[in-house]
Amino acid sequence: MKKKNISAAAAVMAAVLSFGAIAPNTAVIAEAVTSSASSSSSSSAKMEAALKTVKSRINIPEEFSEFSYSTRTEKAVEGYYFTWKAVNAAGEVQKTINVTIIDGIITRFSTSDSYDYNNEPTLAKLSKEKLRSCVSSAVKALDPDIADQIEVNENIDVDLHGDSAYVSLSRKVNGLYFSKNVGSVCVNKNTGEVTSFVLNWWNDAEFEDASKAVDEKTMQQSYKDNVKLVPSYTINNVYDNKGNVTGKTAKLILSQDNKVVFDAATGKPTTMYDDYAKANNTANYSLYDTVSEDYEEDCVEEAAEDIQAGAAMGGDVSLTAAEKQALMDSGKYYSKTDAVAILTKDKYLNIGDDYVMEGGVFQEGDSPSGFVWQFSFYKNTEKEYRSAYVTMDAESGKIISFNKYAQAPSKTINIKTVNKIAKQAAEYYLPEIFGEYKSAESNTADANKQTSRNITFNRYANDIRVQGNNIIINVNSEGEVMSFSYSYDEVAFPSADIISEEKAYEKAFAQTDFRLYYDGYQRLDGKSCIYMLYTVDDLYLDAKSGKLCTSNGTPITITEKTEGCPYTDISGHWAEKYITELYDYNIKLSTDSDNKFNPDEYITEREFSELLSSVFYVNVMPLMYSDYSYSASNEFGNDKLTKAVAAKEFVLSAGGKDFAEIKGIYKSPFKDVDPTRDDLGYIAIAYGMGAVKADASGNFNPEGKLTRGYAMYMIYNYLKNNS
């Protein structure tokens, strides 16, 4: 951050918020404490100290005459929640200020003006640098004792349709980030005034000296001892130039077999997670996201509910009723009656005469034939309630998946029994392909009082795991199969020509770094436990070349890019300024796998319409095609866009159609635009909006094709003119 920008922002903040070195108004403080004491007996020296701290850092204008507070203890640390209100003569609340202070640290500040939404899209009057400087000044004013450990992040999220800009905060100690202490600041994008502040802070945290971290060579050896780079096939769809799926392809990649976090001082796997489990032996607190034993069953239940809703409502069907009936009449697909007959005879479904069919839908689906039957059944007696949701291939009659629900048994599963039953069920449903699958290691884990278990079989080709192709069968302790699903892709697999293990490590270390950082947890007594750690983030390599790639095998090209914007081909381009600034407002176009923006390529009607929808929140495509047919292609919206059509889209998006259609009142703003054109009104209004401009010769070139870069230039000019 440049020092001169911080100084400028400090001046802005002093004028706008009166943050900073403000002498506490002791009279107001005494009055507030006395007032609160009259309604509560818990007033104390600690609260008075907290209130004085807040009043010394935040200017509370005299109009905020009503004061209230509450307290709450979190992990043995007491916090205070202060509220000031400004009321009118009628006693109506006009504005509020809310502040939270915990252990001397202001962790929350907000005003009733924290978000101001409007429909008019505008650019910020302050630059990103000035907005960050305002944030830096606010941090120093709110929490001066810890400000040197708070880093204002580079990226800034600016609201296009409101007055807010958001900047995230990170805690950085000894040059390392501490992942548990983060925050954010919201400022007015035009004035720099802070409207809200949030910070998570562990005040008692003690950090190990970063110089004690082991060297890279030691870490590389420890990584090799604890992490294996294992091969797998990843399967991806192949698309044509219109976005249609034309097939599938398999790529061979290497990835980490597990995510190991290392103690940076020893180079050995960290004990942090085990230490946490011992210190916090409760289900009410979590250091990191974990998957409960019931999670998978909950997900299965949600999926079944979705199927049931689809069966009741007709599902997401693209065919008309007449079209579906014609397909069934063709004799190629099972009728509903015949499909149900197959299901009632299935040995694992156990759908008896006492079941009621609640819904049955014939529709397009993910199955070998492309069409499925979806059914829901239930049984409701005085003794029990059971249900089943089934998807079957409409042509072959084979079951694709099912989920059954009943009261869970009380006894614990027998590991060998449930594995045996799951294998038999897999062979029953998938006799042709089951030989390509192997039982997962997790299938034989300790029962741990489970009353059912998901048994997983993973597909292998050339003795290499195929990602995403598996069979999952749930068996309960009564030996009943409660669910079945599988995935299998018809695809050719490349040969298992893999670089050596040593070469794989060499390539990995050359293309990625060990990330050094702090992490930790808080005990239930509030004590912070901090660890200095090393880790390697998600890592994928092409199994044959060892080059860095994504999880689906796409090569990663490491190139220079504009700060805050991922595009790799706009540096030095005439439209770079407009493309990068609009990116901050989430106005962007799709890119290729190398993050190339391709600013000189022609933009399509659909792409430009999508840009305008992010500016005006209006889908302009139906408006364009309702009465102005200019597309010569069969693909809706894929024609290249002319400047004249772009001008019309702009005006339609802004709601100016009625004005633009008035004839005889507009003069041509360009030398080469005929004043008798039917769309003259649109071009003239677009010119007035600032969206279109004349070239050096005073021409518009209305039939000229619009490039992606020029489209961003048009939008930027309009927003700048509107701000």
Q: What is the 3-state secondary structure (H, E, C) of 252-311?
A: EEEEECCCCCEECCCCCECCHHHHHHHHCCCCCCCCCCCCCCCHHHHHHHHHHHHHHHHH
For 322, the enclosing helix (H) or strand (E) is helix 321-329
**DSSP 3-state assignment of 587?**
coil
Phi, psi of 227, rounded to the nearest 5 degrees? -130, 130
Looking at residues 138-146, what average pLDDT do you find?
95
How many whole angstroms from its chain centre is CA 255? 23
For residues 235 and 469, the answer to whether their CB atoms sit within 8 Å is: yes
- Lowest-confidence range among 104-118, 320-334, 642-656, 668-682? 320-334
Rounded Cα distance, 538 and 515, in Å: 11
With CA atoms as reference, report the closest residue to 336 among 402, 392, 413, 273.
Answer: 392
- pLDDT at residue 587 above 80? yes
Instruction: Provide the 8-state DSSP code for 413.
Output: P
Mean pLDDT of 702-710: 92
**114-128 average pLDDT score:** 76
Return the SS3 of 52.
Answer: helix
Mean pLDDT of 478-502: 95
Confidence at residue 42, expressed as pLDDT on a 0 to 100 scale: 45
The model's confidence at residue 364, banded by pLDDT at 50, 70 and 90, is confident
How sure is the predictor about 616, in pLDDT bands with cuts at 50, 70 and 90? confident
Look over the chain and give the mean of its residue pLDDT values, rounded to a whole number.
83
d(CA 153, CA 169): 6
pLDDT tier at 324 (50, 70, 90 boundaries)?
A: low
| Number of Cβ atoms within 10 Å of the Cβ of 410 | 8
Q: Are 409 and 482 in contact (CB under 8 A)?
A: no
Residue located via tokens 């597909």 = 459
Give the list of residues 6+ apart from residue 325 with CB closer than 8 angstroms, or none: none
DSSP category for residue 383: S
Tell me what percent of the residues of the chain surpass a pLDDT of 70.
81
Residue written as token pair 């089934």: 390
pLDDT-based confidence at 557, cuts 50/70/90?
A: low
Is the pLDDT confidence value at 622 over 70? no
pLDDT confidence tier of residue 558, bands split at 50, 70 and 90:
low
Q: What is the mean pLDDT of residues 135-160?
A: 93
Structure tokens at 358: 């609640």
Integer-rounded Cα radius of gyration of the chain? 32
Lowest mean pLDDT among 205-214, 489-498, 530-539, 609-618: 609-618
Contact 124, 132 (CB under 8 A): no
Looking at residue 564, its pLDDT comes to: 67
**501-511 vs 216-226: helix crossing angle, rounded to 10:** 130
Please tell me the least confidently modeled range out of 20-24, 148-152, 664-668. 20-24
What value does the mean pLDDT take over residues 25-49? 52
Helix boundaries (H) for 430-533 = 501-511
- At 329, the pLDDT band (50, 70, 90 cuts) reads low
120 band by pLDDT with thresholds 50, 70 and 90:
confident
Contact 371, 395 (CB under 8 A): yes
| pLDDT at res. 705 | 92
According to the per-residue pLDDT averaged within each range, which of 115-124, 172-181, 237-246 is highest? 172-181
Give the residue-averaged pLDDT of 557-585. 80
Segment (H or E) for 371: strand 371-380
Q: Which of 313-317, 354-358, 442-446 has the highest mean pLDDT?
A: 442-446
Strand 164-173, strand 385-393: pairing = unpaired
Residue appearing with tokens 């709601």? 655
Has residue 415 got a pLDDT over 90?
yes
Name the one residue in this structure whose structure tokens are 């390509």: 436
**Please, what sign has the CA dihedral across residues 689, 695, 698, 704?**
negative
- Cα separations in angstroms, 316 against 227, 308, 360, 371, 395: 44, 12, 13, 13, 19
Furthest-apart CA pair in the chain: how many Å? 90
Residue percentage of the chain with pLDDT more than 90: 57
List all residues 6 or more positions away from 23 whose beta carbon is below 8 Å from its beta carbon.
56
Angle at which helices 605-616 and 708-722 pack, to 10 degrees? 20
**Two structure tokens written together for 162:** 């409101």
pTM of the model: 0.73
**Cβ distance 71 to 81 under 8 Å?**
yes
> Which one, of 692, 681, 694, lies nearest residue 652 by Cα?
681
Rounded to whole angstroms, how far apart are CA atoms 720 and 125? 9
Tens of pLDDT, residue by residue over 417-458, are: 999 999 999 999 999 999 999 999 999 999 889 999 999 999
